[in-house]
Structure 1
Amino acid sequence: MNTLQKNSFFNRFFSEHSFKGGVNRERCGLAFYKKFYDPKSEVFFKLKSRYLYKAKDGDILFFLLCIPGGGSFYFWFILVLNSLVALFSEEDFTWYIVYLIPIYSFFVVNLLGLFYDRMPIRGAYFDRIEQKVSFTWKIGNAEELEELEELEELEELEELDEFGNPIFDWDDIECIIKNELGALGLMKAFIEIRHKDLERYPNAKLTINASGDTSKPVQCFLEWESIVRHMEQDKPLPDTPEYELYRELDPITKSFDESNGRPKGFWTQFSLEQQREIEEQIFQEALKFDWSEGKVQPEITRPWEVWTPDPKRPPKPRGMFTMIMLQLVFCYPE
């Protein structure tokens, strides 16, 4: 196990973002619950310049969200099949399925949106402003809490963030690289973000599968550097698609962008395909980088001088009609 430093050596940050709805966050389509309820996801959006969220991979609850969409797809399949039968035979068309689909989709889209906001996915919030880290699950059991109360140390665990999660100081958080033998006999690399005092807080740790090959644990370094860079509050947010819609919400970033002559909405001009090509380019550079030397290379602060949007591959924001059709067919809440 190697403990990683809280420093950025490679200094190349890039995380793709699909601007599927463009810059409009007011769209709801069939998801009428958004008009009456401000979900946690929307609260997080408003604080995205402040918070970075990292989730544990392969949470089974996420896949449970696919079940309602599968049911909707089944109804559409029956509708198409019933239409073909009615068209090429003398059997009557079953009209009730036409009314059932939109009613089912409307109900599920709104219910799913509310359920998703309350779904307990394991992850960690990194608070750039307060320099805190919070985990989305209970850190100690009842016995530990009683012991802490006796020691008059319960106050630290009772401190919560906006989302009701226990908070720890960023200075008390560390990251290590762990190796594990995979299913096919291949070694996999993970990063474990945890509290320094594991004896006191054994549950304060989050494992992220960042790399599939320990001979090239570069993705682990890149993942940790992205977190460290986010927490450096004396610097503007990294200039990547992930932060494009939130840069003006951070005063330091907004001031830096104005003085740096940054084009407004720069990354919104890039298609997701081109973003992935840039991400692969940076990853190939990271493979050649000497991580053991400890040499810090300069950050790319003017990406518009390095990359230009391809006019032949413009981004394709998701239109209102497309969004509603996805809600009808797959019960996708957006």
Structure 2
Amino acid sequence: MRIGAAVRVMALAGAAALVVMPAFTATSVVLNWGFLILLYTALAQSWNLLGGFGGQVNLGHAAFFGLGALTTRILWLHGMAVSAALLAGTAAAAAAGLVIGAPGLRLRGPYFAVGTLAVAEILRITVGNILPEVSSLPAARLAAYAITPRYYLALGLAACVTITARMLAHSRFGYGLAAMREDEEVAEAIGVSTFRYKLLAFIISSGFAGAAGGVFGYYHLSFYPQFAFNPVWTFDALLITFLGGVGTVWGPLAGAVFFLLLREVLALRLGELHLLIFGVLFILIVAALPGGFVEAWRSLPVMRRELVAEASNSVADSVRRRRRSP
């Protein structure tokens, strides 16, 4: 079976397992784990749409995650249906992407990265100064809380972002982003409207980050507004994307599974030292697999052919030496 066919079969089997998992698990621990993997997949994929496919490193991704979380949480607690509140949070984040991206994308390289980080930090500090430190669910909402609908919401979002990424990757827009990522000046020379492409990708990326934030705001019993804007959301998404494979469709999912499992294991065994060890491991993995897990998987057929060819040459050399010996 070809690698591409194997990936499709695995993807379909995995999707089916995720859909039916709530019916076959009797504990909320498994669903909470599944929820977190799906949430981080959606968040990392939203960063990947701009940073991976377009090569624009956005270090302020947490700002849009936080805006979506805050908007969704406030509207939902004030009586709006969660679906409508989530759409409003997504729209708020996308609108912020337009407002910030229109001037910000005039900057290039590290200037754009630092500029987005500065905007995110300003929003985080402002929210921390204006809003209460924590928002807890009212008794009625708390009594009706269930993990299953939140799990399916995260599953739907992760599927939506991944399908969008796959469609974009094989579209004219995706090819334009790829050309821009390799060389922006050359892309402009061949007719790619780089600013328009970057702005549209920034808006889509911001909107999906806001949707992930909205699901996060709906999930938590106690919600800390300032934490939703914490830069850790940006850097977690970045780490996951690079681990799985930056600029690939399936990289964020592979990276999210590995990231969460490794982080949990290290936290349980090493306590406060787990952050240091995790950082070292991340550097080693990225150095060993610069294309991430997905590119390593794709290279397996080439590696297999090289090993077979090397073994065949070795056998042939051995046979020739035996024939020459008296």
**TM-score, structure 2 normalization:** 0.23
Between structures 1 and 2, the one with greater helix share: 2
Between structures 1 and 2, the one with greater strand share: 1
